[in-house]
Chains A and B, each alone.
Chain A
């Protein structure tokens, strides 16, 4: 039962979706729309599991006081703060002190709660009670401080100044720099990959050099740009086309294996 029912569900819904594609009827489109909405919702709940896993791993690391245990604290604080910003709106020209005080109280409450639930046995009740007290203080701040309010149903949090600043000045620079950092590692990798040891490595080297030098100024600049354009649009297109066809056929084969119950890895053990 525990393993058969999921197999039946996969087979029924998989076959239904395949058949639906070939039925050009209004009802078929309605069913498709419904089911697509459904998997988006289920997918979000699955992501919540991943988020919980991140929180649990971070709290475990902090509680065990392993080496570098302070850093997961940074993750948890930034996660909580970002979520708080996204669920709140702040009145224009109002003071920020109440808002920041509320964040501090919320962080302290969550910390006490985590200690009470997952920390050492000693003082567990005291910490849980402290968490409760801090939650009450936070609730009072949320009710009586008019400068900010929770917005769960409308997306006003997305335009919250702090949320936007965290995105513009923390997330984007970090993301761009992480990728920019790869410039150094990819250079050392290209030294190893591009050594002309045989014909295949030489072809790799030549086409990569042509593409990398395409913006070079000088008398050869125009020819390099045209050659680079040809390499990108002809041999590269042929190679990418073959790879895309291969990927497409691979996905179809794997999907068939899943629907027919040959591939069952998604069910895990037990």
Chain B
């Protein structure tokens, strides 16, 4: 690894630690990282949209003599009428076109791709010949397929609020909410594990990519290694140490002072 690459790795490590410092409290390093993220992400998407959508969909089409594409270009510029109070109503026209096309497109597509496909999958015949399956908790068994069918119908019944959830209807709705709770629990558990995986990944980055490279523990064959690696490593920790000392001194100076709220009430 070259020095410049390690410099960038150190920047990434500093930003990682800066975001994690929020666990202590909102602090200048976290605020810096947060605002940097907003700016860099916004800039990144500007470039991606320019090169990936605007150039091929508008500029190249116009360059090829497809003059119809002047219409969305003009409509797009009309959006900027929003900046002027008197003519801001003009921006409703392109917005109306955008909403009209996207909602019109959504109706058949949502019905076909979301509702119909799910209903279709739900109505697959149940595997009665192997109802109990061949192994422990067999997903392809008849009882699992029956559970999916009954669970989906009862969960839909639970969402039907035009009829009181009493009697047989209430019993089905109750099974529906049980199914939903099992599903929500599974999704929540899955999300928790995904976040934990991300956390492990960041710790591994700090350890392997940054810490071990700084001390050349993992890659002894690095011909570009020199003392600057360790200097950068300790410089980052020094920043956090200086901040910790600053915070501690602030805490000590405020410890004996009466709080502002108490002063006001007195």
Contacts and interface: CB of A to CB of B under 8 A. Distances in A.
Interface string B23-58: 100000001111111111111111111111111011
The CB with the most chain A CB atoms within 10 A, among B57, B100, B108, is that of B100
Contacts, number: 403
Contact of B188 (A43, A153, A204): A204
B211 interface: no
Nearest to A73: B35
Contact of A238 (B52, B89, B102, B152): B152
Given A10-B100, A208-B192, A251 B110 contact: yes
A200 B106 contact: no
Contacts of B72: 37-39, 41-42
Interface centre among A78, A172, A209, by most B CB within 10 Å? A78
A235 interface: yes
Q: Which of B35, B69, B139 has the most A CB atoms < 10 Å from its CB?
A: B35
A155 B73 CA distance: 21
Interface residues of A, number: 131
A15 B238 CA distance: 64
B189 A208 contact: yes
A190 interface: yes
Contacts of A14: 99-101, 103-104, 107
Given A2-B92, A71-B32, A226-B136, A39 B178 contact: no
A203 B242 CA distance: 48
Interface stretch (A115-123, A131-139, A162-170): A162-170
A245 B118 contact: yes
A7 B92 CA distance: 9
Contacts of B148: 234, 237-238, 241
Contact of A82 (B44, B58, B83, B136): B44
B179 interface: yes
A44 B47 contact: no
A35 B32 CA distance: 42
Given A2-B89, A42-B97, A170-B12, A86 B43 contact: yes
Given A6-B93, A79-B43, A86-B46, A184 B23 contact: yes
Interface residues of B, number: 120
Contacts of B163: none
Interface stretch (A103-111, A140-148, A175-183): A175-183
Contacts of B121: 241
Nearest to B180: A239
Contacts of B188: 190, 193, 204, 208
A254 to B, nearest CB: 8
Interface stretch (B197-205, B223-231, B258-266): B197-205
B184 interface: yes
B244 interface: no
Contact of A236 (B57, B101, B187, B199): B187
Contact of B11 (A3, A155, A169, A186): A169
B159 A242 contact: yes
Q: Pick the most buried of B15, B54, B185, B193: most chain A CB atoms within 10 A of its CB.
A: B185
B71 interface: yes
Contacts of B177: 200
Given A9-B93, A187-B192, A40 B53 contact: yes
Interface in A53-105: 54, 68, 71-72, 74-83, 85-87
B147 A41 contact: no
A259 B114 contact: no
Interface in A11-44: 11-18, 20-22, 34-44
Contact of B182 (A41, A71, A182, A235): A235
Given A234-B147, A238-B149, 12 more contacts: A18-B104, A45-B79, A72-B35, A75-B38, A78-B38, A82-B40, A82-B44, A170-B36, A178-B19, A226-B137, A248-B118, A270-B88
Report, nearest first, the 6 A-B pairs whose CB atoms are least far apart: A239-B183, A82-B43, A17-B104, A238-B151, A86-B47, A78-B39
Interface of A: 2-3, 5-7, 9-18, 20-22, 34-49, 51-52, 54, 68, 71-72, 74-83, 85-87, 152-153, 155, 157-158, 163, 165-184, 186-187, 190, 193, 199-201, 203-212, 223, 226-227, 229-249, 251-252, 254-256, 258-259, 266-268, 270
Interface of B: 8-9, 11-13, 15-16, 19-20, 22-23, 31-55, 57-59, 61, 68-69, 71-73, 75-77, 79-80, 82-83, 88-89, 92-111, 113-115, 118-119, 121-122, 136-137, 139, 144, 147-152, 155-156, 158-159, 176-193, 195-196, 198-199, 201-202, 205
7 contacts: A22-B108, A45-B79, A51-B42, A82-B44, A86-B50, A183-B196, A186-B191
